[in-house]
Structure 1
């Protein structure tokens, strides 16, 4: 379990660390002189530093969980970078980054497991001003700032679903694409419509063939056949395979044709299985 705070590293070294790099914004990246890999966020660099240390003492099989990370919305004059805009950027970009399902450059097949710090500001916590201002909400439940927990576009043009702060998306969409409804504590795998029909079809063929996914519900006349689109059928098949493989790292990829979501997908009366069941 690791508490990782790019804010502290940036505040102490703002003359040499790019703010965009610390906030997971688009940036040229930094090449690690040790492993030769390029990093586009300070958080990933910090986590891979831990991975490297673990490897050095022969603990490559231990899973890493980020038990705390966040950015303060207010700080003292010397706490460079503290502020509402930067806090919203860090937490919002972090959520989108985690939901890609990708790991760090050193361990790309291990999805990030991250807990945000914190839900509420802690007005009686000792220390500098920042210590009392990590929350997304004030104690009276009003938001400190807005984080874009909506369907956002990431840099490569791929749509990334992020938990909505209001009502869930309807299960039926007029264009026949898969939609999601809020369900906590679970993940599913869906097709990336931007991957193209050829890549989606190849993934669908593998999942329903060699992959051993249960594709009976998307056959003609079955509950999940309609809408009869490659994206809808691929989403169902990808998720069946993903659940069958116990949602293991790398089992929701299909050559870039799929990604992980945290809201239960469905179309019409068809609901996607969880934990290998309906």
Structure 2
């Protein structure tokens, strides 16, 4: 399925700032704001069907998705969905793709033309982290990219479907400070320059996977968690160019921008093909918690949709694909590998974050309620706040205590013998308390979060005969 595990390779990166992969934004960059897409991995045996996944993406307002193959069932499910799709050619095919254009002709016909335009394929990732592939496929990369592009051209698809390849940060000789970013000398002439020249000529983007989590986990004694999670912090001044960085994500991306500029390819755009934060991890995986994952991804979405660039390129908005849609139970490696999903396989949210500009601005669309069923009516614009039943009981209890205590929620109805005491479950009581807090705060954006323990729904919650208030 995956030609090379995305995070497995990042764990192998020898740098203090772990690898980044680079993906292309296959559509034109917005001058006002970036876009948010999501990676749909399938290394699991308990995921919903592709057709259900399409509906889930629609309910969340997501219209861009990145795949790791060209599975026929998946591509067919996305037909006529309005969702743009990035597909992948696995590393094991690079040798054939590089040596024989007739091979790429057949591959494009079977995996692209067959589905396009009903399925809105917008890009092809040729290979994945090729420079760290133990099978040593580096020399095949650029010839393979050129042949895939030539095959697309024969069918007049080259303007609509762009070609690139995810690049690992281990290709950098230096990544800190960001201004010192440079590619490894042994890669520059054989592959980096030819690849960047190809991307420039074909009007494509460099693909980047950025994982501040790995840098933080490996250097938690040196890197502030607030700096890694886009939270308020003093910032870090780059000793090379004097620019001030308020978050690690920007610093990682600017290291790549600096490396490209050093080779005179600073005009090639970058799209972040993967970035995320795990909601669970092993004891040595510092910071792998649901509240941190919610903070990182939620703050990242707000930052991307604001249209702001990086300190080095403040006017260049970014398109970002979050990793990942689901927790994937068959992935190998540390516990974090199986816990990057925004959703459980049941389609229930692991934590709640805004995914669209409307949600960021406090206008909530229909979301997945506790039952797992999608709300289809709006109740005249009313919204409620409910507990995330998939959250750890300990964290949910802490959030409940805060809501009823310092938060000032009216928790009298969930006391023993009161009207909403039954059902006597943590999820039901937490939902009542969270909603009380949310309504008291006039349903302001961000008041139904509780570090990922709650989310907004557009149907009135039903726990026994208890009625949830809609305002104070």
TM range (shorter): 0.5 to 0.7
Whole-angstrom CA distance in 1 between matches of 2:328 and 2:267: 36
What residue is the counterpart of 1:254 in the other structure?
A: none
**CA displacement 1:154-182 (0-9 Å, x = unmatched):** xxxxx9537744279x9xx9xxxxxxxxx
What residue is the counterpart of 1:118 in the other structure?
A: 324
Aligned residues of 1:31 and 1:38 also touching (Cα < 8 A): yes
Q: Map 1:94-173 to 2 at 5 A.
A: 94-149=300-355, 161=361, 164-166=364-366
> What is the TM-score with the length of structure 1 in the denominator?
0.55
What residue is the counterpart of 1:48 in the other structure?
A: 254
Query: Structure 1: which 5+ runs fail to align?
Result: 153-158, 174-278
**CA displacement 1:169-202 (0-9 Å, x = unmatched):** x9xx9xxxxxxxxxxxxxxxxxxxxxxxxxxxxx
Q: CA deviation at 1:15?
A: 0.3
**CA displacement 1:111-137 (0-9 Å, x = unmatched):** 011110001011000110000000000
1:15 pairs with one of 217, 221, 240: 221
Go from structure 1 to structure 2 and tell me whether the alpha carbon gap of 1:125 and 1:60 turns closer, same or farther (over 3 Å shift): same
1:93 pairs with one of 293, 296, 299: 299
The DSSP-based 3-state class of the residue aligned with 2:315 is coil
Aligned residues of 2:309 and 2:318 also touching (Cα < 8 A): yes
What residue is the counterpart of 1:232 in the other structure?
A: none
Report the aligned-residue RMSD: 2.5
Query: Structure 2: which 5+ runs fail to align?
Result: 1-206, 368-375, 382-472
Aligned residues of 1:75 and 1:82 also touching (Cα < 8 A): yes
Q: CA deviation at 1:149?
A: 4.9
Q: Map 1:178-197 to 2 at 5 A.
A: none
Larger radius of gyration between Structure 1 and Structure 2: 2
The DSSP-based 3-state class of the residue aligned with 1:65 is strand
Larger helix fraction of residues = 2
The DSSP-based 3-state class of the residue aligned with 2:268 is coil
- The number of aligned residues is 165
Whole-angstrom CA distance in 2 between matches of 1:17 and 1:49: 17
The DSSP-based 3-state class of the residue aligned with 1:141 is coil
The DSSP-based 3-state class of the residue aligned with 1:124 is coil
The higher relative CO (CA closer than 8 Å, separation ≥ 6) is in 2
Whole-angstrom CA distance in 1 between matches of 2:354 and 2:319: 20
